[in-house]
């Protein structure tokens, strides 16, 4: 049998017990809150502010269900004790392509320098190699690094050194006549060249030094200065003397290039060598005038006029001297 007074007393005891329990829970929660630390967790482009009683960064990530890949990086590292106000950042690894030696290598990395990525990819550089971008640059997702292998080779080439020509006066020669008094000889030099290759392709040459192994010998040309000549009873002054090949022609029924009828003393010339209208003396022929041209009269060639076909055949083709008279 339960008395009414007893029931009321039990009810008061229960309420009191519940009150103490709530107060205990509140006290415990307050204690836990006071013992926890507030931190900021940054991962997968998201930032979360939270309180934790995890002793280390690693335990916090476990509690938050953050899974790390082999190449992911955490700042600070997993063994770091948790402190209030700490910012914990999870850097997810991403692939970076490295173009090197005709191949593409892929390195998984978190944000770091180009030099670190090359080390991850197992790339060894020589002092001459170039890297794009440079070694100190940072990498981001989608970046590609190019390694340019630079090599140099030295070679030796032989080069001819041209000779110079000296002109001297010779009073024993007629004006317009030239004689080689000393033949020139080319010299020779060794050229030491440094050739630069990038990935096996030549990109530049540089002359390192030159070494003369044979000096050139100048060519000496003697130029005639005599301007007075005599042939038999004829003495004459001239501007220039030429050595030419002479042929002969006779009547064709046509006038000359200058519009006159040809006669003995008419000479066909190349106007680029002997100006039309020039007074001439042709050895073996006599005095004449440059009055005609011819399709085959080019350079140092002339065609003298004779009266008959027989005379032209006797003349034939021969070298002669032609004097261009004053």
Q: Which CATH class is domain 227-325?
A: mainly beta
**pLDDT band with cut points at 50, 70 and 90 for residue 14:** low
Give long-range contacts, CB 8 A cutoff, 24+ apart: 67-74. Answer: 69/93, 70/108, 71/108, 71/109, 71/110, 72/110, 73/110
Question: Which residue carries 């050139």 as its tokens?
Answer: 216
Contact status, residue 78 vs residue 62, Cβ threshold 8 Å: no
Q: What is the pLDDT of residue 35?
A: 58
E-strand stretches of 44-117: 46-52, 73-75, 87-91, 94-100, 103-109
Residue 198 has pLDDT above 60, yes or no: yes
C-alpha–C-alpha distance, residues 174 and 171, integer Å: 8
Using the predicted structure, report yes or no on whether residue 207 has a pLDDT greater than 90: yes
Q: 36-93 pLDDT, tens per residue?
A: 789 999 988 889 898 998 999 989 999 888 898 888 889 998 999 999 899 999 989 9
Domain 37-91 fold: Ubiquitin-like (UB roll) (3.10.20)
Residue 222 pLDDT > 50: yes
Question: Which pLDDT score is estimated for 208?
Answer: 94
Q: What is the CATH number of domain 152-221?
A: 2.20.230.10
Average pLDDT, the chain: 87
The pair of structure tokens assigned to 212 is 């003369």
Tokens of residue 227, six digits: 């301007």
For residue 173, is it left (φ>0), alpha (ψ between -120 and 50) or beta?
beta
DSSP letter (8 states) at residue 112? -
**DSSP letters along 142-202, please?**
T-EEEEE-EEEEEEEEEEEEPPPEEEEEEEEEETT-EEEEE--B-EEEEEEEEEEEETTEE
Instruction: Output the pLDDT for position 251.
Output: 93
> Measured at the alpha carbon of residue 17, what is the angle toward residues 11 and 22, in degrees to the nearest 5?
125
What is the Cα gyration radius of the chain? 54
Q: Is the pLDDT of residue 32 over 80?
A: no
Nearest to 175 by CA among 119, 220, 236, 128: 236
pLDDT tens digit sequence for 237-289: 888 899 999 999 999 999 999 999 999 999 999 999 999 999 999 998 989 99
| For residue 27, pLDDT beyond 50 | no
- Mean pLDDT score, 116-123: 93
d(CA 214, CA 318): 42
């Amino acid at each position: 049998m339960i008395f009414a007074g007893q029931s009321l007393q039990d009810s008061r005891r229960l309420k009191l017990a519940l009150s103490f329990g709530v107060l205990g829970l509140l006290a415990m929660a307050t204690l836990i809150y006071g013992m926890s630390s507030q931190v900021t967790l940054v991962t997968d482009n998201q930032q979360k502010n939270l309180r934790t009683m995890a002793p280390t960064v690693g335990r916090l990530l476990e509690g938050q269900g953050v899974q790390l890949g082999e190449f992911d990086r955490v700042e600070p590292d997993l063994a770091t004790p948790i402190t209030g106000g700490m910012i914990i950042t999870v850097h997810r690894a991403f692939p970076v392509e490295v173009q090197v030696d005709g191949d593409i290598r892929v390195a998984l990395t978190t944000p770091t320098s180009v030099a670190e990525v090359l080390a991850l990819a197992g790339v060894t550089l020589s002092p001459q190699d170039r890297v794009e971008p440079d070694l100190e640059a940072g990498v981001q997702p989608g970046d590609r690094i190019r390694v340019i292998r630079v090599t140099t080779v030295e070679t030796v080439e032989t080069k001819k050194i041209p000779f110079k020509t000296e002109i001297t006066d010779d009073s024993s020669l007629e004006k317009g006549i030239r004689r080689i008094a000393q033949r020139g000889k080319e010299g020779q030099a060794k050229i030491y060249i440094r050739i630069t290759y990038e990935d096996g392709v030549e990109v530049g040459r540089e002359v390192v030094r030159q070494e003369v192994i044979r000096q050139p010998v100048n060519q000496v040309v003697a130029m005639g200065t005599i301007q007075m000549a005599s042939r038999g009873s004829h003495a004459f002054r001239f501007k220039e003397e030429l050595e030419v090949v002479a042929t002969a022609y006779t009547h064709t029924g046509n006038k000359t290039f200058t519009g006159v009828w040809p006669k003995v003393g008419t000479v066909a010339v190349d106007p680029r060598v002997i100006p039309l209208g020039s007074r001439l003396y042709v050895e073996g022929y006599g005095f004449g005038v440059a009055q005609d041209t011819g399709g085959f009269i080019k350079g140092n060639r002339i065609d003298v006029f004779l009266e008959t076909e027989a005379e032209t055949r006797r003349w034939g083709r021969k070298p002669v001297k032609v004097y261009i008279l004053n």
